[in-house]
Structure 1
Amino acid sequence: MDPTELSQHIVAWLTSAVTASFGAIVLVASIVALWRVFAKAGQPGWAALVPLYNMYLSFKIAGLNPWLFLLMFVPLVNLVMAVVWGIRFGAAFGKGGLWSFFLLVLFSTIGLLILGFGSAGYRRQRFA
């Protein structure tokens, strides 16, 4: 193996390691944030660890029919549902539509951390 090839392998390995580490940090931050948000909404925090159940509960917290989360598996419909969910979820914590769109739909980990650790309180919503 020549030095150029070796350096390419090292760069590839380091890039993979950094990317995986960043992904793990974001995953842990998302779970902690969702746990706190669920606790604020009076739901069990451990639900943040259960993949489909946490979507079900987040739709319920947003005041939507919880079974609408199944639409998140339909291509293109999921984009619309993500925006609807984000705006309704933010409204359940007293946040406006623009805040909800940017910080719950586009940068969800940051938005959930703000909701979970900030002063926003949960306002119970009724199903749409």
Structure 2
Amino acid sequence: MDIYSGMLAAYMAALVGMVIVGALVYVVTAFFMSKVFAKAGVQGTWKAWVPVYNFMVFFKLGDLSPWLVLYCFGGAILLSWIGIGFIFSLALFVGGGVAAYRIGMKLGKETGFVAFWLIPPVWLGIVAFGKEPWNSAVAPAQWAGNAFLADRTVWDGVPMQAAATGDVPPHAGGPVVGRPVAPENPAGADA
């Protein structure tokens, strides 16, 4: 066996090892994400297993526009040929951290808990198997009125972001909760 055959064999073994590890990380992450989606009331946890779409739903649960995921993926792919595509990948990671922060708030986690997002499967695992219930009555995000960042997308089976007016969005499959509505004929009013 010559030196080139040995190098090729080592390269192929490393490549196969990376594919196996990558597939294992994907399966574990999708499983954890499906548990988080179930806590949030997402109907159809299969959404956690679909690449890219799962991250769009994750952004939506974190009160960010799910379309930011496509912008970042598109920017990373289109601009990678000139060497700046990594900026969009970094933006996607930071956006994921912001979404993780908001999801953590809805699960009663402390602000510092978002530091676990540096290793997303760890963060997802902790949140997926935590005992905290989903709380959709968290105050609206600071960017809820921003046209670019705010989530205005309506998807069946995925909870919506609280509106900037303070309304609490309807929970998927649950009752509609919002500001109290005045009765049509309050007591003491003339008919």
Query: Which AA in structure 2 matches 1:22?
Result: V
Q: Normalised by the size of structure 1, how large is the TM-score?
A: 0.79
Query: When you count helix as a share of all residues, which structure comes out higher?
Result: 1
- The count of aligned residue pairs is 122
Residue in 1 aligned with 2:144? none
- Distance, in Å, in 1 between the alignment partners of 2:41 and 2:135 is 11
The aligned runs of 1:1-128 (5 Å cut-off) are 2-43=1-42, 44-62=44-62, 64=63, 68-72=65-69, 73-74=71-72, 75=88, 78=92, 80-100=94-114, 102-104=115-117, 106-124=118-136, 125=138, 126-127=162-163
* Alignment RMSD (CA, Å): 2.2
Residue in 1 aligned with 2:75? none
Query: Which AA in structure 2 matches 1:83?
Result: G
- Distance, in Å, in 1 between the alignment partners of 2:56 and 2:8 is 43
* Structure 1 residues 15 and 108, CA gap change in structure 2 (3 angstroms): same
Shift of 1:123: 1.3
Structure 1: unaligned runs, 5 residues or longer: none
- Distance, in Å, in 2 between the alignment partners of 1:79 and 1:113 is 17
Is 2:28–2:121's contact at 8 Å kept on the other side of the alignment? yes
Q: Normalised by the size of structure 2, how large is the TM-score?
A: 0.55
Structure 2: unaligned runs, 5 residues or longer: 73-87, 139-161, 165-191
Larger Rg: 2
Residues 12-66 of structure 1 show CA distances to partners (whole Å, capped at 9, x for unaligned) of: 011111111100000000110111111111112111123454334323322x15x
- Distance, in Å, in 1 between the alignment partners of 2:98 and 2:19 is 31
- Distance, in Å, in 2 between the alignment partners of 1:93 and 1:110 is 16
